Amino acid sequence: MKRSEEIVYKTPAQLQGCRLAGEKAAEVLRIVCEAVRPGVSTKELDDFAARTMRALGCTSADFGYCGYPAQTCISVNDAVIHGVPRADLVLKDGDLVSVDVTIAFDGFVGDNARTVIVGEGTPETRAFVEHTEEALRAGIDAARAGNRVGDISHAVEVVANKYRLGIVREYVGHGCGVDMHEAPEIPNFGPSRRGPLLREGMVLCIEPMLTLGSRRIRTLADGWTVVTADGSLACHTEQMLAISPSGPAEILTPR
């Protein structure tokens, strides 16, 4: 997906717009994730997301973006990201489901994602989801003024390596807020103390994309859905945050 090249440092007024968009994105994500259950198709979830957005007074930033045909991205099991919702993809007990919600509200964008398990899942899949969330938390902890983008990347990588998880390299986190995809890119791997300096006014999306097998991926014939090349399970989680003048980042998509 296209990405602007210049980092957009938000003004206080723009940060407030990002907060409101982030809150709405988080609420849509929460409501849709609660609707994940056996027997529901990903298309039904997408339609439900569209109705939820209308009720909250926002719209999908995904729909039509570079030609994307749906309101949300819903990726199941070996699908890492950009899963196109389908009426024939019906969820069953034990499935891993990544729900990625990006909304537009009053000129700003809110972006977040979460992987949930249909039903109880297995100890392995529950641990996988928790380890991916742990990687996200580590990245968020490193997102402090004075650090660099590489510190976020390295923090995510350390956790992924601890659990021997595959790290998808072709897709990365990103700046956000005015547009869906802004500079800087935020890989989930790499050395610390590299990349752009983190400073007040930056709004970032940190999003680990991890696998239980190889990090290799391929794109399905729909041109969007990215799956693991070896068919292993994938997990994806994302939060949007603002770099604070000092101390921890401000989470703009609260859970």
pLDDT tens for residues 89-113?
Answer: 999 999 999 999 999 999 999 999 9
Geometric angle at alpha carbon 102, from 33 and 166, rounded to 5°: 70
Q: Which CATH class is domain 12-251?
A: alpha beta
pTM value surpassing 0.95? yes
Task: Identify the three-state secondary structure at position 179.
Answer: coil
- Using alpha carbons only, what angle is made at residue 65 by residues 59 and 69, rounded to the nearest 5 degrees? 85
Write down the domain spans for the chain. 12-251
The burial class, CB within 10 Å (0-12 / 13-18 / 19+), for 232 is middle
Residues 166, 87: Cα–Cα separation, whole Å = 30
> pLDDT tens digits, residue range 146-186?
999 999 999 999 999 999 999 999 999 999 999 999 999 99
State the DSSP code for 149: H
Q: What is the 3-state secondary structure (H, E, C) of 10-60?
A: CCHHHHHHHHHHHHHHHHHHHHHHHCCCCCCEHHHHHHHHHHHHHHHCCEE
